[in-house]
């Protein structure tokens, strides 16, 4: 039995891919941000809150810098993923390359 290819199937696949991609993308970027911040200052977020309560100035500045560094690294990773997706899209999508062959039956979409 051949699989049924309908617009509803394509829509369901697209929606599922968007949901899974969004969830995994957020998890990956959060992990990159946290790891980069922890490399610069272990437990940066906890140190920031602890130092803010104690009114210590050098530690909140260092913790803030570490957290900013983590966010910057996550943005760099997101830009790299975007560029990789753009390259794949430009290579994989061949809508402009389709050619009409003489004598072929017209294709009805929809």
What is the per-residue pLDDT for 77? Answer: 96
Token representation of residue 108: 């009805």
Token representation of residue 3: 């699989």
What is the per-residue pLDDT for 49? Answer: 73
* Residue spans per domain, the chain: 40-90
Alpha-carbon distance values, 99 to 21, 92, 102, 103 (Å): 33, 16, 10, 12
Question: From first to last of its 110 residues, what are the pLDDT tens digits of the chain?
Answer: 456 667 788 888 889 999 999 999 999 999 999 999 888 888 777 777 777 777 666 777 787 888 899 999 999 999 999 999 999 989 988 766 556 666 666 666 65
> What is the rounded CA–CA span in Å between residue 34 and residue 28?
10
What is the per-residue pLDDT for 1? Answer: 46
Distance from the Cα of residue 24 to its chain's centroid:
7
């Amino acid at each position: 039995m051949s699989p049924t290819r309908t617009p509803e199937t394509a829509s369901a696949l697209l929606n599922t891919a968007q949901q899974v991609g969004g969830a995994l993308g957020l998890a990956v970027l959060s992990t990159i941000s946290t790891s980069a911040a922890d490399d610069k200052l272990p437990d940066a977020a906890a140190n920031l809150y602890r130092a803010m309560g104690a009114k210590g100035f050098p530690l909140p500045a260092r913790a803030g810098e570490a957290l900013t560094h983590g966010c910057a690294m996550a943005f760099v990773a997101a830009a790299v993923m975007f560029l990789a997706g753009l390259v794949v899209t430009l290579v994989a999508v061949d809508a402009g390359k389709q050619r009409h062959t003489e004598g072929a039956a017209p294709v009805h979409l929809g």
